[in-house]
């Protein structure tokens, strides 16, 4: 294959136009595979290892790597430290200072912005508390645009944003810029991308939307891979994003199971008690009404402005806060057990504020899971705290943008001629 496409001067048509197009598309495809290998590796790789892993010849892999280095998508580091045998290869890592993804996050009680580089580092970030319960979308879009502009104007000149992705705690209309329903923001049928395109800091960028739990789960899968958890069982988990609302994502082999419309994982609206309190979604007894952050605050006798730090501080002294967290953890456990009886994964990852509240929530969740999940005796379920850190939806949103570059680096390179 590589010999045939080697630009030989042999007479006669070596490749028909269709064959040449196929060759070109194979090269484009391989370029994406090589970039993906470098970006997803837990540590630096060499050309030889990439060639081996992808089944390419050494020279093909090397040519592709050279293209990615020239395009400032991959960096060549120092030579690999090896034993006596063989010449050491140069270590390769994702480039830090070129292309980046702008991740924006709308939550019920805050906004967040993070610029993520191809190596996963944060190049700039900001966070702003706010009250977006039953809010005006235009007002929230303006605040988010302002916060994004603060971060973007501080970026070094060589950083190039490939686009922006906005995390929303909502059902989204796939392939459009429309929020179908965000119960806790009280938004329905909002053309959020149209509102954001008008903001001075965002005008020039392509903008897409993503569900908050899906994007957090994306960031979590990456964080787990970097921590060395590339094993299949580490990359398959039920992710629960606890905020004022509760989102969920079922991740199998590192990929969120999206479902037909991208609406999978709404664990916050699974029922705990059908005669329970009315939920923002209109139904009664949803998990959110037992374990959403506002409900935890209220049952603890605290105001809706109480931060998680303040809640944790109070927990040490207040039996009411402890009971509220126990009540929440049992409800989460019931919803988790219901889900695990339907979906065969062994790991439950608590994200969002639940990662901070992990020590207070995990025992109650584990108790329910042990007694309710049919398969738990053969495949013990592990409940763990998320690794992706705070505002992981903003991180995942940055990754969503970068995923587009990684999936088609040739297109990115074509639009950016580098010396």
Site for Zn ion, rule CB under 5 A: 269, 279, 281, 283, 286
Cα diameter, the chain: 86
Could you tell me the two tokens for 256? 């969120």
Tell me the two tokens of residue 61. 């892999």
On whether the CB atoms of residues 182 and 188 are closer than 8 A, the answer is yes
Q: How far is the CB of 281 from Zn ion (least distance, A)?
A: 3
Dihedral sign, CA of 232, 234, 238, 240?
A: negative
The first and second tokens of residue 257, run together, are 């199971």
On the 0-12 / 13-18 / 19+ scale of CB atoms within 10 A, 81 is: exposed
Shortest separation between residue 169's beta carbon and Zn ion, angstroms: 12
The two three-digit tokens of residue 411, written as one number: 């297109």
Q: Using the minimum distance from each CB to Zn ion, give the nearer residue, 114 or 269.
A: 269
At closest approach, how far in Å is the CB of 278 from Zn ion?
Answer: 9
Q: Which is nearer to Zn ion, 53 or 281 (CB)?
A: 281
Spell out the residues 6+ positions from residue 231 whose beta carbon is closer than 8 angstroms to its own. Answer: none
Neighbours of 15 (CB within 10 A): 13
CB 293 to Zn ion: min, Å: 15
- In the complex, minimum distance from the CB of residue 407 to Zn ion, in angstroms, rounded to a whole number: 34
Based on CB atoms, which residue is closest to Zn ion, 163 or 268? Answer: 268
Cα-based angle 81, 87, 90 (whole degrees, multiple of 5): 55
> Which one, of 315, 385, 376, 325, lies nearest residue 350 by Cα?
385
CB contact at 8 A, 99 and 402: yes
Q: How far is the CB of 209 from Zn ion (least distance, A)?
A: 21
Q: Check: CB of residue 208 under 8 Å from CB of residue 166.
A: yes
Which CB sits closer to Zn ion, 224 or 269? 269
Contact 24, 50 (CB under 8 A): no
Least distance CB 279 / Zn ion (angstroms)? 3
Closer to Zn ion at the Cβ: 288 or 391? 288
Minimum distance between the CB of residue 283 and Zn ion, rounded to whole angstroms? 5
The closest of 60, 66, 55, 58 to 86, measured between CA atoms, is: 58
By beta-carbon proximity to Zn ion, the closer residue of 286 and 397 is 286
Pull the structure tokens for residue 10: 């042999």
Give CA separation, 281 vs 188, 241, 271, 413, in Å.
11, 17, 12, 45
Residue among 10 and 274 whose Cβ is closer to Zn ion: 274
**Minimum distance from residue 213 beta carbon to Zn ion (Å):** 14
Q: Which is nearer to Zn ion, 147 or 213 (CB)?
A: 213
272 or 353, CB closer to Zn ion? 272
> Residue for token digits 């089944």?
55
């Amino acid at each position: 294959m590589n010999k045939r496409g080697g630009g030989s001067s042999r007479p006669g048509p070596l490749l028909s136009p269709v064959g040449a197009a196929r060759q070109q598309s194979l090269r484009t495809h391989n370029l994406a595979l090589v970039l993906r290998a470098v970006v997803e590796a837990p540590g630096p790789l060499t050309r030889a290892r990439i060639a081996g892993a992808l089944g390419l010849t050494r020279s093909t892999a090397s040519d592709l790597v050279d293209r990615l280095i020239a395009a400032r998508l991959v960096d060549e580091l120092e030579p690999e430290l090896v034993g006596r045998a063989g010449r050491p290869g140069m270590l390769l890592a994702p480039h830090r200072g070129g292309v980046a993804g702008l991740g924006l996050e709308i939550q019920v009680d805050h906004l967040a912005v993070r610029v993520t580089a191809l190596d996963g580092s944060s190049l700039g970030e900001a966070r702003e508390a706010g009250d977006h319960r039953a809010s005006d979308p235009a007002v929230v879009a303006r605040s988010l645009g302002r916060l994004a502009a603060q971060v973007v104007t501080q970026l070094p000149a060589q950083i190039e944003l490939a686009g922006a992705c906005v995390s929303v705690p909502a059902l989204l209309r796939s392939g459009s810029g429309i929020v179908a329903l965000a119960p806790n923001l009280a938004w329905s049928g909002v053309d959020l991308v149209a509102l954001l395109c008008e903001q001075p800091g965002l005008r020039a960028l392509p903008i897409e939307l993503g569900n908050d739990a899906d994007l957090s789960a994306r960031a979590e899968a990456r964080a787990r891979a970097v921590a060395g958890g590339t094993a299949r069982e580490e990359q398959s988990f039920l992710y629960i994003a606890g905020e004022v609302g509760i989102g969920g994502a079922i991740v199998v082999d590192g990929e969120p199971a999206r479902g037909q419309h991208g609406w999978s994982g709404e664990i916050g609206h699974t029922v705990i008690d059908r005669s329970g309190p009315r939920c923002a979604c209109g139904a009664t007894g949803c998990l959110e009404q037992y374990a959403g952050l506002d409900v935890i605050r209220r049952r603890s006798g605290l105001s809706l402005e109480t931060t998680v730090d303040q809640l944790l501080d109070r927990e040490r002294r207040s039996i009411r806060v402890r009971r509220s967290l126990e009540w929440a953890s049992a409800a989460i456990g019931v919803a988790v057990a219901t889900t695990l009886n339907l979906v065969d994964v062994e790991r439950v990852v608590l994200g969002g504020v639940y990662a901070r509240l992990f020590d207070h929530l995990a025992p109650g969740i584990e108790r329910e899971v042990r007694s309710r999940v049919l398969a738990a005796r053969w495949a013990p379920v592990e409940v763990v705290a998320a690794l992706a850190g705070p505002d992981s939806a903003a991180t995942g949103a940055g990754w969503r943008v970068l995923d587009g570059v990684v999936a088609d680096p040739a297109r990115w390179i074509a639009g950016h001629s580098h010396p």
